[in-house]
Chain A
Amino acid sequence: MDSKKKNQWKAWLYLLPALIILAIFTVWPIINTLRMAFLKDYNELGLIGGQKFEFGFDNFVNVTKYRGFVNCLGNTMILCLVTVPISTMLALIIAVALNSIKFIRRTMQTIFFLPYVTNSIAIGMVFMAMFSMVKGYAGQEGSIGIINTIIEAFGGTRINWVNPNSSKAANMAVLIIYIVWNALPFKILVLLGGLQSVNKQYYEAAKVDGTSRIRTFWRITVPLLSPMIAYVVITSFIGGFKEYTSIVGIFGENMGPIGSKNVLNTMVGYIYQSLDNNQGRASAAALILFAIIFAVTMVNMYVSKKKVHY
């Protein structure tokens, strides 16, 4: 009893540094955000100038009625729903492949980890350069970009990926490729780590039974890796809903190709854009984003509880 009581204050002592910092730099901003979200068109400059702000739900109403915001919401959803399954699946296949080879495995592992240690804005610009078509002047044939060059070499037709008047689908495709590229290393790392600790007995048993590789993959690998897969999916959903820098990297602060400003904007992009002049709406948008992430994470957790095999 006595030692337990001692443990009490000791635990709090251990936690004290973290709690103080969290209270100042996390808890207080959260409270302040709540306050700002419910004050109509709250902005700090106006506050200093003596402006009064109405209390109510106006920020939420204005934000959700705004076409630009609905677009941001849609983009964020699409990016999440497409990139998370693709990158998870691809990472899983690569991890399994890596796990099945011996020669130059370490080199391969290193290569696949490289995107992990980069600045997403800088590399985004590189992707832009690779997909971009450089317009020729007055009938002159311009450069079609390295990716289109490759496509045509394989007999395909060139696509306007990121240039003016490109379709949103093409823009999204570029973004998705980039986001997947960026997301792979972490996922491969986790899944490969998981694979390496999976009990080899199961595979031996499968081999003895003559089970096909594909069947083995679905029946043994995936279920055994389910905790890692669930983990990877949840974190990448959370990351996906906060997507921002990848779009800035490729399309710049314009958040879309030339002539299509903000076409590819996301929730976080919207929050950033309204942070300077209208902290009330920015806060409301952030709370909406939070609610969505929370809901999706809960669903994810629920599903993984049902499906994860330990």
Chain B
Amino acid sequence: MKKKFGAVIMASIMACTVTAGLAFSTGCGPKKAEFVMPDGGFDTETPVTITFYHTMGQNNRPILQRHLDKFKEVYPNITVKEEAIGGYDDVRDQITKEIISGDEPNLAYCYPDHVALFNQSGAVQPLNDFLKDSGYNDMKVTRKDGTTESLCLTEEETNAFIKGYYDEGFKFGDGSTMYTMPFSKSTEVLYYNKTFFETNNLKVPTTWDEMEETCKKIKEIAPQSTPLGYDSEANWFITMCEQLGSPYTSATGNKYLFDNEENREFVQRFKGWYDKGYFTTQGLNDNKYTSNLFKVQASYMSIGSSAGAKNQSPDRVDGEYPFEIGITSIPQVNPAKPKVISQGPSVCIFKKNNPQEVLASWLLVKYLTTNVDFQAQFSDASGYVPVVTTVLENEIYKKYLAEANGFGNVTYLAAKVCMEQEAAYYTSPAFVGSSKARDEVGALMQAVFVGKDLNETFKAAIEECEYFAG
């Protein structure tokens, strides 16, 4: 009798929680309904709140906030809650977990591989309904001031986007569905110490062979220096694959293709450079940006993000800049067919049961990506380049660009170089596990440079990726 009493209580508590738990994890279901365009389009009356995750810091967040206030004036029923969540990976990790519990944000900063990851659950909203030929072209949204705008991107708006950036949104699956919109972009550029180059009559390298030659010369002139700093080993590897046309990854079939003779060859070649002290990387430089070396003239060339131009700028000594910075494209294998990586955040929208939230999110994305003022100001504050060419007609931005110089105003110099190589942008395929490949090739470069066996390291990296892929 007594025995049963205790056992019954125990059993019932257990049973309750288990069933409760099961109900919670499967019952309500975090899966969101598919978006169906409401008959009236966007409802400008009913209040709707949307959440926006990003990684903006002190510099650019106020600009976003300022424009959100303006957006609120245009659509008073939309309340936007913007949240700064650490770095890009933090945003990814947070959203991954939130999708599981069903409370992901409405829109977020993203990289293509994050979207591939999220989309295992089908949580990301396709944007095709909002593009220029979607079939909802005639749908209008009335602003507060009585004017209207098209819900979908107009022909004109679409054409304003830098094509390479816009097309990135389709780099998923069969390429027919758009999942992301470009938000602000950057690429890698080569910063060089123009003063030093001119004094020593050095040629700015345009190919990797010339780069080797230049490093050698710098080493002779300044044996104490590390001629080149390359921030991202992973970018270096992937860009080399792209420039050489050698396999890296594929979104379908055998995904990890980077273990091949050509790739081993260039890694081995750079290892030789490293041994001669020609370069360092961020990872090898104690995870400090190599711009730290460039600034103090411990290195004379630096390959890093165009958005980080500010970091390359040396501190003024007695009000004077100690040297002038030159900015140009990174070296190429074949300068006739240049390839540079496309970086910087895009935004994606998440599915929600309430279609009005999706529409409100879309209106915000449209507002932020096509608004010339926002794009110009954001570019100014962050160093990222605008995603729409119309910004170039903006008077203020024009003035900024005109004032660019290699001393105090390098940001626009970088932006210029960045925009000039529009045609050279590439992005690698995004799939679940593409970021794993990126991590692994970065680690691989580091490992070989510090002396690990080349073949063994390649093999291990592939093994890692394949274990990850399952």
A residues in contact (CB < 8 Å) with B: 4-5, 8-9, 12, 19-20, 23-24, 27-28, 31-32, 41, 43-51, 62, 66-68, 132, 134-135, 137-140, 164-165, 252, 258-261, 276-278
Q: Contact between B13 and A23 (Cβ–Cβ < 8 Å)?
A: yes
A27 to chain B: which residues have CB within 8 Å? 14, 17-18
B284 to chain A: which residues have CB within 8 Å? 164, 258-259
B residues in contact (CB < 8 Å) with A: 2, 5-6, 9, 13-14, 16-18, 20-21, 25, 29-31, 93, 96, 99-100, 117-123, 219, 223-226, 277, 283-284, 286-287, 293, 298, 432, 443, 446-447, 449-452, 460, 463-464, 467-468, 470
Q: Contact between B451 and A165 (Cβ–Cβ < 8 Å)?
A: yes
Which of B20, B460, B470 is the one whose CB lies under 8 Å from A41?
B470
A12 to chain B: which residues have CB within 8 Å? 6, 9
Q: Contact between A137 and B2 (Cβ–Cβ < 8 Å)?
A: no
Q: Which of A24, A45, A51, A66 has the most CB of B within 10 A?
A: A45
Q: Contact between A68 and B464 (Cβ–Cβ < 8 Å)?
A: yes
A41 to chain B: which residues have CB within 8 Å? 470
A140 to chain B: which residues have CB within 8 Å? 224
Q: Which of A48, A259, A261 has the most CB of B within 10 A?
A: A259
Q: Contact between B470 and A20 (Cβ–Cβ < 8 Å)?
A: no
Which of A4, A23, A24, A43 is the one whose CB lies under 8 Å from B120?
A43
Q: Contact between A258 and B450 (Cβ–Cβ < 8 Å)?
A: yes
How far is A276 from B2 in the complex, measured between Cα atoms in Å? 45
Q: Contact between B99 and A19 (Cβ–Cβ < 8 Å)?
A: no
Q: Contact between B121 and A46 (Cβ–Cβ < 8 Å)?
A: yes
Q: Contact between A137 and B298 (Cβ–Cβ < 8 Å)?
A: yes
A278 to chain B: which residues have CB within 8 Å? 470
Q: Contact between A261 and B286 (Cβ–Cβ < 8 Å)?
A: no
A252 to chain B: which residues have CB within 8 Å? 287
How far is A24 from B219 in the complex, measured between Cα atoms in Å? 65
B446 to chain A: which residues have CB within 8 Å? 164, 258-259
How far is A45 from B9 in the complex, measured between Cα atoms in Å? 35
B463 to chain A: which residues have CB within 8 Å? 67
B25 to chain A: which residues have CB within 8 Å? 32
How far is A45 from B31 in the complex, measured between Cα atoms in Å? 10
Q: Contact between B224 and A139 (Cβ–Cβ < 8 Å)?
A: yes
B296 to A: closest C-beta gap in Å: 10
B300 to A: closest C-beta gap in Å: 12
- Smallest CB-CB A-B distances: 8 pairs: A48-B121, A259-B450, A164-B450, A23-B17, A45-B121, A259-B446, A45-B120, A44-B100
A277 to chain B: which residues have CB within 8 Å? 117, 432, 468
B470 to chain A: which residues have CB within 8 Å? 41, 62, 278
A48-B99, A68-B467 known; A138-B225 Cβ under 8 A = yes
How far is A138 from B452 in the complex, measured between Cα atoms in Å? 21
Q: Which of B29, B118, B463, B470 has the most CB of A within 10 A?
A: B470
Q: Contact between B18 and A261 (Cβ–Cβ < 8 Å)?
A: no
B122 to chain A: which residues have CB within 8 Å? 48-50
A27 to B: closest C-beta gap in Å: 6
Q: Contact between B18 and A31 (Cβ–Cβ < 8 Å)?
A: yes
B96 to chain A: which residues have CB within 8 Å? 45, 276
Q: Contact between B286 and A134 (Cβ–Cβ < 8 Å)?
A: yes
B321 to A: closest C-beta gap in Å: 22
Q: Contact between B5 and A51 (Cβ–Cβ < 8 Å)?
A: no
A8-B5, A138-B225, A164-B450 known; A23-B16 Cβ under 8 A = yes
A45 to chain B: which residues have CB within 8 Å? 96, 99-100, 117-118, 120-121, 123
B98 to A: closest C-beta gap in Å: 11
A8 to B: closest C-beta gap in Å: 6
A283 to B: closest C-beta gap in Å: 14
Residue of A nearest to B442 (CB): A261
Q: Contact between B277 and A276 (Cβ–Cβ < 8 Å)?
A: no
